[in-house]
Amino acid sequence: MRVLICPDAASAARRTADLLCEHVARRPHAVLGLATGGTMEPVYEILRERIAEGSLDLSSVTTFNLDEYVGLAGDHPQSYRATMERLLFEAAGIGPDRARLPDGAAADPAAEADAYDAAISEAGGIDLQLLGIGSNGHIGFNEPTSSLGSRTRIKTLTRETRDANARFFDEGEEAPRFSITMGIATVLEARSCLLLATGEGKAPAVAAAIEGPLSAACPASALQLHPSATMILDPDAARDLKLRDYYEMVHPAGGEAPL
Ligand code: F6R
Per-residue pLDDT tens over the stretch 46-79? 999 999 999 999 999 999 999 999 999 999 999 9
Nearest CA to 25 out of 63, 60, 56 is that of: 56
Give the span between the Cα atoms of 150 and 186, in whole angstroms.
7
pLDDT higher than threshold 80 for residue 182: yes
Atom 13 of ligand 1, residue of closest alpha carbon: 37
Q: Which of 136, 165, 226, 251 is catalytic?
A: 136
Best residue among 45, 72, 138 to mutate for probing ligand 1, ranked by most atoms within 8 Å of CB: 138
pLDDT higher than threshold 80 for residue 257: no
**pLDDT band, very low/low/confident/very high, at 168 (cuts 50, 70, 90):** confident
Per-residue pLDDT tens over the stretch 6-60? 999 999 999 999 999 999 999 999 999 999 999 999 999 999 999 999 999 999 9
Position 245 scores a pLDDT of: 97
pLDDT higher than threshold 80 for residue 153: yes
Atom 10 of ligand 1, residue of closest alpha carbon: 132
Output the CA 194–ligand 1 centroid distance in Å: 13
Whole-structure pTM value: 0.97
Per-residue pLDDT tens over the stretch 89-125? 999 999 999 999 999 999 999 999 999 999 999 999 9
Q: At what angle do helices 9-26 and 41-53 cross, to 10 degrees?
A: 50
Position 173 scores a pLDDT of: 86
**pLDDT band, very low/low/confident/very high, at 256 (cuts 50, 70, 90):** confident
Position 231 scores a pLDDT of: 98
Atom 3 of ligand 1, residue of closest alpha carbon: 140
User: Of the CATH numbers 3.40.50.1110, 3.40.50.1360, 2.60.40.10, 3.20.20.100, which one belongs to the domain with range 10-196?
Assistant: 3.40.50.1360
SS (H, E, C) the chain: CEEEECCCHHHHHHHHHHHHHHHHHHCCCCEEEECCCHHHHHHHHHHHHHHHHCCCCCCCCEEEECEEECCCCCCCCCCHHHHHHHHHHHHHCCCCCCEECCCCCCCCHHHHHHHHHHHHHHCCCCCEEEECCCCCCCECCECCCCCCCCCCEEEECCHHHHHHHHHHCCCCCCCCCEEEECCHHHHHCCCEEEEEECCHHHHHHHHHHHHCCCECCEHHHHHHHCCCEEEEECCCCCCCCCCHHHHHHHCHHHCCCCC
Position 171 scores a pLDDT of: 84
Q: Is 127 a catalytic residue?
A: no
Q: For the sheet containing 178-181, what is the strand order?
A: 67-69, 178-181, 153-156
Q: Is 138 a catalytic residue?
A: yes
pLDDT higher than threshold 80 for residue 258: no
Q: Is 136 a catalytic residue?
A: yes
Per-residue pLDDT tens over the stretch 210-238? 999 999 999 999 999 999 999 999 999 99
Ligand 1 neighbours by CB, cut-off 6 Å: 35-39, 66-67, 132-134, 138-140
pLDDT higher than threshold 80 for residue 259: no
Position 224 scores a pLDDT of: 98
